[in-house]
Amino acid sequence: MKEGRPRSFYVLAIFFAAYVLFLYGPMIAIYVLSFQGPQGGLTFPMNGVSTFWIAKLFQGTGIVDLGAAFRRSLLLGVIVMIVTVVLSVAAGMAFRRKFKAQSILFYSAIASLIVPSIITSLGISLEFRIIDDLIKAHWNENFETSMGLLTSGLGAHLTWTLPFGLLIMFAIFNRFDPRLEEAARDLGATPWQTFRHVVLPIILPSVIGIGLFGFTLSWDELARSSQAIGAVNTLPLDLQGLTTTVTNPDIYALGTVISAVSFTVITLALGTIHMLNKRQAAKGSDAGQGLV
Amino acid sequence: MDMSEEVLQQASPGLIPGSGTARAAKPTRLSPSFISWLQAGPMMLVFLAFFLIPLVFVVIVSFWDYNEYQLLPALSGRGYTDTFEGCIAQLPDLCTIAKTYLKTLKLCFLVWAITLFIGFWVAYFLAFHVKSKTWQMGLSLLCTIPFWTSNVIRMIAWIPLLGRNGLVNSGLTKAGLINHPIEWLLFSEFSVVLALVHLFTFFMVVPIFNSMVRIDKSLIEAAYDAGATGFQTLVNVIIPLAKPGIVIGSIFVITIVMGDFITIGVMGGQQIAAAGKIIETRVNALQFPAAAANAVILLAITFLIITMMSRIVDIKKEL
């Protein structure tokens, strides 16, 4: 094409920069505001600079028991991450072959992604209510509820993370060279050995990506948790509860802490992916290494 | 059925026919179809238990009766009649429920139009103007990271900017442009639309970018050589080829906004009624059949919109 940049480049570059500013500007504002002094309010200008509000969170003197919510969200996020990785990789492998009901699974995943979250959440809560009623009627009158963080809550989060995991697996196998597996088979590898020593190392960077999606989507999930989580709250739910009563920078401090966890996980995951890709580039080929 | 197979064939070319060739080796091996079930079964079970069966329950419960304390498993249309109470008597005036759905559709349309505009040009810039792969990846990542952080935080982030004493108001006051703070900046339809655009433009950028990077650059050069202006190339070459991404992005944004109750609640100061909000209110009042009835209506509208959109393009082929 032409040399030099057309005028549209500069117009769109400015548009893009404005979009990025729009995306990040408000978030940066609350990160800054969470470092207000003890007299600080909800808006600029800053009233002193301190870590008072963040320290207050960790003392547990705030409005809700954030420590417990923090641990619950973390636990749920880690479990969702592990389950999402395992089930997505397994199902992704299955989709490379024809099997009955594969279009049912595919459509379920897509539908789960686009049916409004409130409906999924309501459905899960109704399902568990009906289960509870059955248990009360037939087995144990004093039964409280089967809803909880790791039953209905876990299920609700998985309906959100698994479709992403499956779609990423499709993308991975889209550019996977099956000749590598054939070579392993020809050398006498069992299917499990082929997977463990050939397929997995190659797809590992993207699998880390699935884990990243799994954890952060669960960590920040709100709409599906709202009806389905049971009696306890996750961190985003507590945060949402605070928005109606907010009067001081508590809420910004909490926002900053939650974001810090998200960003740490993203950075760790991206760092690992980068490292794995580099390793693959360095060790993946033995061309030019001689016969030893 | 056969269409999905076609897609999967595309997703893993050569694998489906080739998978049977090396199988004869050991008789003790599990049959391939059993392995498939083992691999895909767990995910299918999760969707069955936490998505498909719950959806069935939503439909069933929407036809149940209820009182102030509990669900009554008896066939009743009360969930629906309560929802549309007085709608016919009030004609030609619109009843509350109809107004609420119209308002939801209006919000939806506004957010869709704005996210489409922003998303298209952001994707266009990334796909056609950023030449280096590293920069392309870096800048896409820059747009993606906020999607991975809490929505509530991104909502409340507008308070210090739009509030009564926020940056915008104090800036305008100091500049002498206004005497009193503008009240409609926060907790209004304006702030709801702004927050939704802020949260969900990502869902437009990614699919549109994906379709655009797949466009063969030589087609654009051909259009250019044939004397097309930039605008003609855009309308006749790029937009038709990016259509699948546009439709997929639109489906995401529309379904999210149709069901949203959190953003509309927080940014509307709990004052704006919307389809998702009705469901939440009904649940909080323990009127589950009425909540379920509204969920069924919302589902039907969402389904209708998706069907209309997928008429435009075969979504499955593009994934």
Q: Which residues pair with B72 in a beta bridge?
A: B65
**Amino acid at the residue B220:** I
Between CA A239 and CA A252 the distance in angstroms is 10
Residue A101 gets the label, from left (phi > 0), alpha (psi -120 to 50) or beta, of left
Cβ of B40 within 8 Å of Cβ of A243? The answer is no
CA–CA separation, B107 vs B271, rounded Å? 14
Q: Which of residues 150-169 of A touch B (CB under 8 A)?
A: 152, 155-156, 158-159, 162, 166-167
List pLDDT tens digits, range A109-168.
Answer: 999 988 999 999 999 999 998 888 888 888 877 777 888 888 899 999 999 999 999 999
Query: Residues B41, B278: contact at Cβ < 8 Å?
Result: no
Following CA atoms B1, B2, B6, B7 in sequence, which dihedral angle do they give, to the nearest 10 degrees? Answer: -10
Q: Which residues of A touch B257 (CB under 8 A)?
A: none
Q: What is the C-alpha end-to-end distance of chain A, expressed in Å?
A: 47
| Per-residue DSSP letter, A244 | T
Q: From its phi and psi, is residue B272 left (phi > 0), alpha (psi between -120 and 50) or beta? A: beta
CB contact under 8 A, A129 and B121: no
| pLDDT averaged per 10 residues, chain B (length 319) | 46 44 53 87 94 94 78 75 75 80 92 96 92 87 84 85 83 83 85 94 92 89 86 89 91 90 87 87 86 92 87 65
Choose the mutation target among A8, A28, A84, A97 for the interface with B, i.e. most B CBs under 10 Å.
A97
- Enter the pTM of the model: 0.86
Cα B233 to Cα B221: distance, rounded to the nearest angstrom: 9
In the numeric block, the tokens 């952080």 are attached to: B149
Question: Other C-beta atoms within 10 Å of B85: how many?
Answer: 13
HSE of A264, CA atoms in CB hemisphere, 13 A: 8
Residues of chain B contacting residue A246, judged by C-beta atoms under 8 Å apart: 156, 159
CA atoms within 13 A on the CB side of A43: 14
Q: Residue B295 is nearest to which of A88, A122, A152, comparing CB atoms?
A: A122
**Closest residue by Cα to residue B213 from B140, B311, B279:** B140
Structure confidence at residue A61 (pLDDT): 56
Crossing angle of helices A235-242 and A250-283, rounded to 10°: 150
Which residues, 6 or more positions from A117, have their beta carbon under 8 angstroms from its beta carbon? A160, A223, A224, B259
Task: Outline where DSSP puts E strands in B133-219.
Answer: none
Q: Which residues contact A80 (CB under 8 A, 6 or more apart)?
A: A154, A157, A158, A161, A214, A215, A217, A218
Instruction: Name the residue among A102, A155, A226 with its Cβ closest to that of B8.
Output: A102
Reference B119, options B205, B10, B7; nearest CA is B205
Q: Report the C-alpha gap between B220 and B204 in whole angstroms.
A: 23
Of the residues B16, B30, B39, the best mutation for testing chain A's interface (the one with the most A CB atoms within 10 Å of its CB) is B39
ipTM, interface predicted TM-score of the complex: 0.88
Which distant-in-sequence residues (6+ apart) come within 8 Å of A17 by Cβ? none
Average pLDDT per 10 consecutive residues for chain A, totaling 292 residues: 71 94 89 79 71 74 71 93 96 89 90 91 92 85 82 93 94 88 90 90 90 90 86 83 74 84 88 88 66 53
Sign (positive or negative) of CA dihedral A158, A163, A168, A173: positive
Helix, strand, coil percentages for chain A (3-state, nearest 5): 70, 0, 30
Q: Is B319 close to A130, i.e. CB distance below 8 A?
A: no
Give residue A290's pLDDT: 58
Q: How far is B85 from chain A (nearest CA, A)?
A: 22
CA atoms within 13 A on the CB side of A124: 33
Tokens 């939503």 found at: B58
Q: What is the pLDDT of residue B19?
A: 43
